[in-house]
Structure 1
Amino acid sequence: MTQVDPAKDGAEMSFEGRMSYGDYLGIDAILGAQHPRGDAHDEMLFIIQHQTSELWMRLALHELDAARVCIAQGRAREAFKMLTRIARIFEQLNSAWDVLRTMTPSEYTRFRDDLGQSSGFQSHQYRLIEFAVGNRNRAMMQPHAHRADYTERLEAELARPSLYDEALRHLHRAGLPVPEDVITRDLTQPWAAHDGVQAVWEIVYRDPETHWEAYELAEKLVDFEDYFRRWRFNHVTTVERIIGFKRGTGGTSGVQYLRKMLEVELFPELWHLRTSL
């Protein structure tokens, strides 16, 4: 077998006092963040699956923040790349369920009690994503009340226009007849389907060539919600496959609660108009 010496190809081989790959990425901190509470083999899978999901959600929030800034500043086309990336992030999150589903009910039972009351329901980053795209429910802040930093971020998010609010304001600035009560609405409240907003989106979809930017923005939003819905569905399926209809560790009804979440629509008018076109 031929032996290759990377140094002869110009590769850096000495890192004393210099930044390496591991230094830049903080690999030691990441790989040292797994602390199983027991000796069950599959607990490591459970921990890493949820930790990597939180990393992907951190990136999703980074992209959501930037996309909203771009849309608010009239740079919607720049936001399209970010919105595409967010949809792909949720594609990655969907794939993660496939790995977790390799764990059987018997294997999960061996360490489930070690979770105590902890649950993915308590993820403040997931809550921030929901708030950022428009699904705003103050009751969902209660599990984070013990952390002032989490509460501060969530309150700041509620005070800021959601992704959908920014999209509708963009249409308004473009001269489309978005109702005034939509533009001036209480941002802390969850979005509710609005006939006037659906009428505006129908204008866009009936003449996409005239309103191409708004049309493309709408489809980017639908792409995201499509992947987001799949993520929720895969969550329900995975939970039912592993624990059946037991209550969740965080106290929810488990599968029954998650099924209710499947009914939540983030951008309802963009789905409803497809029937009326």
Structure 2
Amino acid sequence: MNNSTSAPDEPVKDDALTRPFAGASPYDTYVHASVLNSLQRPLTEAPDEMGFLVTTQVMELWFTLIVHEWRAARVAFAKDDLHAAMDALTRSRRALTALNAAWAPIAALTPAQFNGFRAAFGQASGFQSAMYRHMEFLLGDKSAGLLRAHRGDPDVHEALAETYREPSLYDEVLAYLHRQGLPVPRHVRERDVTSPYTSDPGVVETWRHVYAGPQHHPHLALGELLTDLAELVTRWRFDHVMVVRRAMGSKPGSAGSAGLAWLEQRTARPVFPELWEVRGDV
């Protein structure tokens, strides 16, 4: 017997859902959804341009979160707080997974569909994204030239220059491992952090100590978490290559870039290279 006083299909009444707001809803005041939803301004009638705009903007938001988490992890490593660092890196792994999934709306654009709006964005190109450049700099992939490209916007340039001058996330990981007694070479610890990070045999040896040690050691868990991040970043770069290859082939990119060739070159650059090399030594 159903003792309910309302019919099964009668909606539950909740006055909180229908009470008028004095102004903008508390949700909009906190999330700024009305601002976010006003930023999609297609310049053509092409049906695929809206998806391209939303996908690009969503990726920028994921970049922002990932940069936030990597900065938090970098600070934690500098304080020898491995637990907080691992928490931040784990959160960033979830964000990277979501970032990679964001390609879906535009992953199958045909050349004709892409050409329907490509001319509208003129000289705009993804390599101009300052927040993505923060990500790359935090990974140790520093570039004075790509920093210089943002000089026209002083606030953006200075924020990016700060990330350029600071140790990368990986620099702080290696400094932390040294303080924990692992043999990180002095020349690596004292290197010019504005230079692109390149693989070092001494750091391979550092990770060999970690991977040859106890299999439940926190430093091994750190190595595997960093490897997860490196793989996800590489997969994002590769998916970017595939989207461009499918939509425009080898044509020159926007703003005069080499397009596909430039992206393929970037994709080939390893993230945390010694973590991949050490696997052959274990």
Q: What TM-score do you get using the length of structure 1 for normalisation?
A: 0.94
How well do the aligned residues superpose, as a CA RMSD in angstroms?
1.7
Equivalent in the alignment of 2:71: 65
Question: Aligned match of 2:87 in 78, 81, 85?
Answer: 81
One-letter code of the match for 1:244?
G
Equivalent in the alignment of 2:60: 54
Cα distance between partner residues in 2 of 1:51 and 1:92: 13
Residue 24 (structure 2) pairs with residue 14 (structure 1):
no
Question: Aligned match of 2:224 in 219, 241, 247?
Answer: 219
1:161, distance to aligned residue in structure 2 (A): 1.2
Equivalent in the alignment of 1:113: 119
Task: Name the CA shift for 1:245/1:209 in 2 (closer, same or farther; >3 Å).
Answer: closer
Question: Aligned match of 2:178 in 159, 172, 177?
Answer: 172
Which structure 1 residue ranges, 4+ long, deviate > 4 Å from structure 2? none
Equivalent in the alignment of 1:31: 37
Cα distance between partner residues in 2 of 1:35 and 1:269: 44
Question: Aligned match of 1:188 in 183, 194, 216?
Answer: 194
3-state SS, counterpart of residue 271 of structure 2: coil
Cα distance between partner residues in 2 of 1:18 and 1:259: 46
* 8 Å contact from structure 1 (residues 191, 266) kept in 2: no
One-letter code of the match for 2:116?
R
3-state SS, counterpart of residue 36 of structure 1: coil
Question: Aligned match of 1:199 in 193, 201, 205?
Answer: 205
Deviations 1:206-225 (A, max 9, x none): 00358x22211111110101
Asked which structure has the greater CA Rg, the reply is 2
For structure 2, the 5+ residue unaligned runs are: 1-7
1:253, distance to aligned residue in structure 2 (A): 1.5
Deviations 1:65-115 (A, max 9, x none): 111111111111221122122122221121121221243221111111111
* 8 Å contact from structure 1 (residues 7, 13) kept in 2: no
One-letter code of the match for 1:149?
D
Question: Aligned match of 2:155 in 126, 144, 149?
Answer: 149
* 8 Å contact from structure 1 (residues 91, 227) kept in 2: yes
Map 1:102-141 → 2, pairs under 5 A: 102-141=108-147
Q: What TM-score do you get using the length of structure 2 for normalisation?
A: 0.93
Equivalent in the alignment of 1:241: 246
Equivalent in the alignment of 2:10: 3
